[in-house]
Structure 1
């Protein structure tokens, strides 16, 4: 049903599933669903609201006190199982079949530039160790744990944001590496990768080469 910590059989889980199917509900609806008292229902709702999974609005129907109508929050919607990885894999497969690998590589390179463009203006300093430190902070804001190499000449990523897709389409790994290269303005060498069985993706900065440098080319939106 969901991956938000409630089993389908629990009271909270049944309320969540009811709201998935019906969009909204009242204490009366939930009491009938669970066959419990309104007080017991409100206890479930208090916990769900405290977790940020359910929100309530007042709805007036005629004279008297307005009733509370409950629905799922955006947080709850974002936690339900998604199949983005499968969709992306299918799209890449069809693009390769229709346009060829070279065209798809070019598209992914443009994507890496767009991603880099979101971070480039937040990089500070000309020293590579400083930029690597800032990159680590930006990656962790994306939910990717990372650390700068003790020598200050590389970075390790301890999670893959595209894990399932990358196993089927290695080009996605190249896209992430290129994004980091564009952000740093330096070429990187991949030492090991999660896709190949390591517990991290480790990159070292390649020694500067005037003909090897990268420049971020702004893309037309």
Structure 2
């Protein structure tokens, strides 16, 4: 079975479980028109990825059988409109409360992120802090790489922005990220390229404080 078909069948199984609820291997094989062995191969793969949960169910006749449901982690694979909801709420807030309220909202978020991550920066050199910040941002989906540029200077690239739709409309998101980096790194940080302004990535130049 080629990779495209493997991926397609996996998606169909996930969709079936999402829309129909618990299903056995036999149920899935019948609907998909493939063998139970093929279904079990997909099931095994998705169990390894923590996408499915199995439950042993007794039947009126015959041996108990496993039925499968989606694990909570699988919910992230289905379309979400979080960014649009966030934009709608921010637009309402802007209309009702004005620009100052938006500024305070993003500054509050920045403060919470600083409090959350500050302990991870303690007792580290600047290079170690840059590495830790990259780890933090990768945990949050920013697809970071970085490199040293001479003594106490670094280039920090973010190839993805999980909040791009929000940042495109509300530049406060980008301003607060820049301030967050400066405070966490205790360093000079300059942004030279920005995804929200049409660049292919966000680029930060980091230098040791003089």
TM-score (norm: length of structure 2)? 0.79
Does the alignment pair 1:203 with 2:201?
no
- Residues 1:170 and 1:20: Cα distance change in structure 2 (over 3 Å): same
- Residues 1:131 and 1:53: Cα distance change in structure 2 (over 3 Å): closer
How far the C-alpha of 1:101 sits from its partner, in A, is 1.2
How far the C-alpha of 1:21 sits from its partner, in A, is 0.5
8 Å contact kept, 1:128–1:153: no
Does the alignment pair 1:118 with 2:124?
no
CA distance in 2, matches of 1:90, 1:162: 14
2:58 alignment partner in structure 1: 60
- Residues 1:44 and 1:207: Cα distance change in structure 2 (over 3 Å): closer
1:45 alignment partner in structure 2: 43
SS at match of 2:162: coil
How far the C-alpha of 1:94 sits from its partner, in A, is 1.3
CA distance in 2, matches of 1:131, 1:171: 24
2:158 alignment partner in structure 1: 158
8 Å contact kept, 1:124–1:134: no
How far the C-alpha of 1:97 sits from its partner, in A, is 1.0
How far the C-alpha of 1:208 sits from its partner, in A, is 5.3
CA distance in 2, matches of 1:200, 1:173: 13
Number of residue-to-residue matches in the alignment = 202
In terms of mean alpha carbon deviation, does 185-194 or 13-22 score higher? 185-194
CA distance in 2, matches of 1:33, 1:105: 53
In terms of mean alpha carbon deviation, does 91-100 or 64-73 score higher? 64-73
Which has the larger share of strand? 2
1:26 alignment partner in structure 2: 24
TM-score (norm: length of structure 1)? 0.76
How far the C-alpha of 1:52 sits from its partner, in A, is 3.6
In terms of mean alpha carbon deviation, does 187-196 or 197-206 score higher? 197-206
Alpha-carbon RMSD? 2.8
- Residues 1:208 and 1:30: Cα distance change in structure 2 (over 3 Å): closer
| Deviations, residues 167-207 of structure 1 (Å, cap 9, x unaligned) | 12211111211222232244633322222233332334588
- Structure 2: runs of 5 or more not aligned: 1-5
8 Å contact kept, 1:136–1:148: no
Q: Aligned ranges for residues 26-175 of structure 1 at < 5 Å?
A: 26-61=24-59, 65-125=63-123, 127-144=125-142, 145-151=144-150, 152-159=152-159, 160-175=161-176
Which has the larger share of helix? 2
- Structure 1: runs of 5 or more not aligned: 210-221
